[in-house]
Structure 1
Amino acid sequence: MAGFLADNYQKLLERIDKAKYRSGRTGEEITLIAVTKGITPEVIKEAYSLGIKNFGENRVQEVMPKMELLPPSLSWHFIGHLQSNKVKYVLPYFNLIHSLDRISLAEEINRRAGEQDKVVDVLVQVNIAEEETKFGISTGEVEGLIKTAAQKFPYIKIKGLMTIAPYWEDPESTRPVFRELKNLSLSIKVPGVELKELSMGMTNDFEVAVEEGATMIRVGTALFK
């Protein structure tokens, strides 16, 4: 597996570098989040040994047993829909939550984080394409949520925005979605909040996302399959 994984990783880095070059971003850092749903701890260790440090999961009950078998130096990203009753389980394990999409969830994260006296880094998930099958706040509600969080929830630090583009056979079709998220991040001005992170792009469309300003991409299949 190690040789296969190393080969996939090298190809992935080359594709990222080419996308950065095409868009004039050669000096910028892109965080690769390896999506490990269904991936064993042994394979995750191999990925870590290759230099991958950021890993993404969308189910807390799946990742908790894995974490017990893995080095504590891994950085974990929660990338799935987060139910309020799961917040207490997520906070101790994850370094960044990518899926804040409602005030009630922000309130629960803030409450639980306050009990632990820790500030939680989050991204606001935006449903740019307004798909009924996807979670995320609408574009018109993003600034209001961020303002409320900044004013009322001291244990939450909003670091940026996240979106999941619709799946199209031609990745080029996703470009307007990623461009809109980038433009949205530039248009929102809330005191004390810097939207530096843009989590967008997966196996099928990450190159377009990088060209449009992604700072984080979430890739599973291109790495592990």
Structure 2
Amino acid sequence: MSTIQNNLDTIKASIPGGVTLVAVSKTKPISDIQEAYNAGQRVFGENKIQEMVSKYDELPKDIQWHMIGHLQRNKVKYMAHFVDLIHGVDSLKTLKEINKQAQKHNRIIKCLLQAKIAMEDSKFGLSFSEIETILSSDIVELPNIKIVGCMGMATFTSDTSQLQKEFSSLQRFFDTLKEKNPQMTILSMGMSGDYPLAIENGSTMIRVGSSIFGARNYNP
């Protein structure tokens, strides 16, 4: 059994049935993704649109591609024909652009609104009140998008009490949103270092890269 397959089996055995595993394949070669695919993985996440497009062109078409990085509006058009879920939507302008590009391909693209829960200034995202404003605005006029949940990135820290605080705050907020917005079923929280805690706090989707593929090489 390959290391990638072994890692996938270990992670899948450790997470509840209702949690979706997104294999974060950014910077990883086609061969690694194919190996994970052969081991049964079908959901992959990328943070650069150009890289995702080139991998989409080469890999099996039943893969669900998730855009998990910060989204530049002018690049949405390059992935609108195939992207399954966009995690990091942080403005109404971006939603409008996704809707416009999805329309051209007669598709409905699923989106998550990114909440800013981390203390770090480098993290993108919306405040809880901004998310509520977007959901109460005229998104009904955007028929080619579907907001299906929220995403949050915790502070990069080993302080579990800090992580607990951030994850639980988003869980509580998400639970209130679901009461008015029943289509919101996905709470995307947790990565390689903190996904068990994220799942304890209600995450239904985790984004795991290095624990599957090994450390990333940013200068191949």
1:144-183 to 2 correspondences below 5 Å: 144-148=133-137, 150-183=139-172
Structure 2 CA distance for aligned equivalents of residues 12 and 222 of structure 1: 8
Structure 2 CA distance for aligned equivalents of residues 130 and 168 of structure 1: 10
Q: 2:3 maps to what in 1?
A: 4
Structure 2 CA distance for aligned equivalents of residues 59 and 161 of structure 1: 20
The one-letter code of the counterpart of 2:86 is I
Q: 1:62 maps to what in 2?
A: 51
Deviates more, 1:171-180 or 1:155-164: 171-180
Structure 2 CA distance for aligned equivalents of residues 212 and 126 of structure 1: 15
The offset of 1:169, in angstroms, is 1.7
Give ranges in structure 1 of 5+ residues lacking alignment: 21-27
Per-residue Cα deviation, 1:41-73 (whole angstroms, up to 9, x for no partner): 111111011111100001011122222221101
Structure 2 residue aligned with 1:208, among 167, 188, 197? 197
> SS at the partner of 2:136?
helix
Structure 2 residue aligned with 1:92, among 81, 86, 89? 81
The offset of 1:167, in angstroms, is 0.9
TM-score normalised by structure 2 residue count: 0.90
Q: 1:114 maps to what in 2?
A: 103
Give ranges in structure 2 of 5+ residues lacking alignment: 215-220
Percent identity, aligned pairs only, is: 37
The offset of 1:217, in angstroms, is 0.2
TM-score normalised by structure 1 residue count: 0.89
Structure 1 CA distance for aligned equivalents of residues 145 and 175 of structure 2: 20
Per-residue Cα deviation, 1:22-45 (whole angstroms, up to 9, x for no partner): xxxxxx411100000111111111
Structure 2 CA distance for aligned equivalents of residues 53 and 101 of structure 1: 26
The offset of 1:172, in angstroms, is 4.8
* 8 Å Cα contact 1:158-1:193 kept in structure 2: no
Pair 99,174 (structure 1): closer, same or farther in 2 beyond 3 Å: same
* 8 Å Cα contact 1:56-1:76 kept in structure 2: yes
> SS at the partner of 1:52?
coil
The one-letter code of the counterpart of 1:83 is Q
Structure 2 CA distance for aligned equivalents of residues 66 and 171 of structure 1: 35
